[in-house]
Structure 1
């Protein structure tokens, strides 16, 4: 399931929960979808953090 569909389904279940409540099966689906969303978010965030390159200050590069 791509992220847009995942988020849409999470939102759909959230709206239904506010309006009429969820059956146990839907609660379990919602929890699984949320877990998948957070896993994906963490993985993407980690990739972004890993791609950051650190540069130490170098006196030759600093202009006064």
Structure 2
């Protein structure tokens, strides 16, 4: 499968939306695990990198732009 490219501070869209109704997440920590923060309610979630790669749909905004 094609490896998706994402970096710190990117805004991403996940396959499933958060219970608050928002589907935009900001990547706030990267390593073996990735921490993302919901842009609707500011709740943060930590996922293993492999699971995050499966659940990401697309990158909406790049950090550098």
Query: Normalising by structure 1, what TM-score?
Result: 0.26
Higher relative contact order (CA 8 A, sep 6+): 2
More helix by share: 1
- Structure possessing the higher radius of gyration over alpha carbons: 1
